[in-house]
Amino acid sequence: MILTVTLNTALDVTYTVEALVPHRSHRVGEVTERPGGKGLNVARVLGALGHDCVVTGFAGGPTGDVLRSLLAPLPPRDALVPVAGNTRRTLAITDRSTGDTTQLNEPGPQVSPAEWAAFLRTYEELLAGADAVALCGSLPPGIHVGAYAELVRIARAAAVPVLLDTSGEPLRRGIAARPDLVKPNAEELAQLTGSREPLRAARDARRRGAHSVIASLGPDGVLALTPDGVWRAAPPAPVRGNPTGAGDSAVAGLLSALAEGLDWPDRLARAVALSTATVLAPTAGEFDAAAYAELLPRVTVEPHTPTP
């Protein structure tokens, strides 16, 4: 079983308009709702790949009820912990004329110390049956900034491989707890290390405690710094589409390949193929299965030699 943790779950709402123009009213052509938050997105992809997956985190209020009702028919199993506050919403506005998406993210519900303690009990129970765990996304109000570091240490004590995918101070503190893998994008790496050169920044992140660093380079693929070597993995050609959820699909690819015992080049090929197929999907945050099957053997994975 693969466990994904989303402390700040969300109800993702997508509006589609013909053209998004500031300061004007818009007629919405299509509205979609789905359970969201990075770890839930990862879990949906894992389920589509055929992996047994459990999601935990927090859900509460009327929005949380809607989220759980939408999650119920999906493959990931629901082990979300109830909170008194209302689960946040994220609003994505997709512009048909350009293909661009504008995102508005609410902060999330206030989580009490008692609710955090209840989550920790659930987390420790679920780890007992987990092959790997992903800790994903932002922290809701009320959760201490070192929460991910605490969860990394608990997973390591349980001998469960742990992937951390967050940003800012939670990433800085979480890395110090020595997660097996972190997957920041270039901007998150720059904020963490002060360097905008991906290889230098990834090396700095490893020195800070991460065993392996997979740096997302957007349409250029990923740079992987691992104990077994350094690789660059890239799609066969640039693609145009909606990048929403592409990073979460990459996390799902890395976790699923880890659970299957694949080597690093195959893990990276899967991550890049899934993220690219997500950009190509007609629905934001989903991946195009046919595109994924076509892309997977064409992803380029090469040992990376720095330019002198």
Give the position of tokens 């299509």: 30
Residue 288 appears among annotated catalytic residues: no
Whole-number Å distance between alpha carbons of 14 and 33: 7
The catalytic residue among 12, 248, 263, 266 is 248
Whole-number Å distance between alpha carbons of 229 and 45: 27
Whole-number Å distance between alpha carbons of 194 and 132: 30
Angle at 252 between CA 225 and CA 157, to 5 degrees: 70
Whole-number Å distance between alpha carbons of 10 and 3: 18
Say if CB 198 and CB 234 are below 8 A apart.
no
Cα 27 to its chain centre, rounded Å, is 31
Region of 307 (left: φ > 0; alpha: ψ -120 to 50; beta: rest) is beta
The residues carrying an active-site annotation are: 248
